[in-house]
């Protein structure tokens, strides 16, 4: 295993050129497209999951918000497949990079906010000042609400980055401990290995859950502005 704990988070390069673009495009291969009149089980399960997820996220939206359905389902599929790909040995997880997560969060958040100011100007401005606020507190509350609004995309990106990075670090540390303990105490090493397997299974669940949470929060921001 790598001696440097953070080596797996360094952007990989080939001949001095970063290949992160190729890695980001790779997960799209994991979703086969239907080419036959009767689909196989894999495509049927894939379509059923996409339909279920889309229905779950779009049920709170009006017709204007439902136009974002394709973007949101593409987002959850991309983040989920990228997180799962990062659990493979000697692979790279783009979602551990805060810059990439900000690149996804800021445009989606900005699009939802601009949509709200364009179509629901009064209601969007009303969020900055709750009803019944005492007059002396108005300037402070406006500042606080403005800061909380601009923190939303940062919170989205940091949440995804922190959860995925923490899981990878734990797997790395426990894996290193298991290898070190094999020469000292095989019983303890076996217990540590069982913990490593359980943690890996948990990380598979976290990879999918974090993709759903990221997309759901974007969906909620969109719902507040449509």
CA atoms of 192 and 29, how far apart (whole Å): 35
pLDDT of 2 above 60: no
pLDDT value, residue 20: 64
| 115-129 per-position pLDDT tens digit | 888 887 777 777 777
Angle between helices 138-181 and 98-119 (to 10 degrees): 150
pLDDT of 204 above 70: yes
Quick one: DSSP state of residue 4? S
pLDDT value, residue 107: 92
Mean pLDDT across the chain? 81
pLDDT value, residue 17: 61
Average pLDDT, stretch 167-181?
A: 85
Report domain extents, the chain. Answer: 7-225
pLDDT value, residue 214: 92
| 130-140 per-position pLDDT tens digit | 777 777 877 88
Average pLDDT, stretch 85-114?
A: 85
Q: How far is residue 33 from each of residues 40, 44, 80, 101, measured CA to CA in Å?
A: 11, 11, 18, 27
Contact 123, 116 (CB under 8 A): yes
Q: If we measure between CA atoms, which residue out of 59, 65, 54, 70 comes closest to residue 225?
A: 65
pLDDT of 96 above 60: yes
What is this structure's pTM?
0.79
| 55-84 per-position pLDDT tens digit | 888 888 888 888 888 888 888 888 888 888
């Amino acid at each position: 295993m790598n001696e440097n704990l953070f080596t797996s988070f360094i952007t990989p390069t080939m001949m001095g050129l970063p290949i992160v673009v190729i890695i980001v495009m790779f997960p799209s291969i994991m979703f086969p497209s239907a080419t036959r009149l009767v689909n196989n089980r894999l495509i049927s399960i894939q379509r059923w999951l996409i339909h279920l997820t889309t229905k779950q996220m779009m049920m709170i939206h009006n017709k204007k918000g439902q136009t974002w359905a394709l973007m949101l389902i593409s987002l959850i599929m991309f983040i989920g497949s990228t997180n799962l790909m990062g659990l493979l040995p000697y692979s790279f997880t783009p979602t551990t990079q805060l810059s990439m997560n900000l690149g996804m969060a800021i445009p989606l958040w900005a699009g939802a906010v601009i949509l709200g100011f364009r179509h629901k100007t009064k209601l969007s401005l009303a969020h900055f000042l709750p009803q019944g606020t005492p007059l002396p507190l108005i300037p402070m509350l406006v500042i606080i609400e403005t800061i909380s609004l601009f923190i939303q995309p940062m919170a989205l990106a940091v949440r995804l980055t922190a959860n995925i990075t923490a899981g990878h670090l734990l797997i790395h540390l426990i894996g290193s401990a298991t290898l070190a303990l094999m020469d000292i105490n095989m019983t303890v090493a076996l217990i540590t290995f069982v913990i490593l397997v359980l943690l890996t299974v948990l990380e598979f669940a976290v990879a999918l859950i974090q993709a759903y949470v990221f997309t759901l929060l974007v969906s909620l921001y969109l719902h507040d502005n449509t």
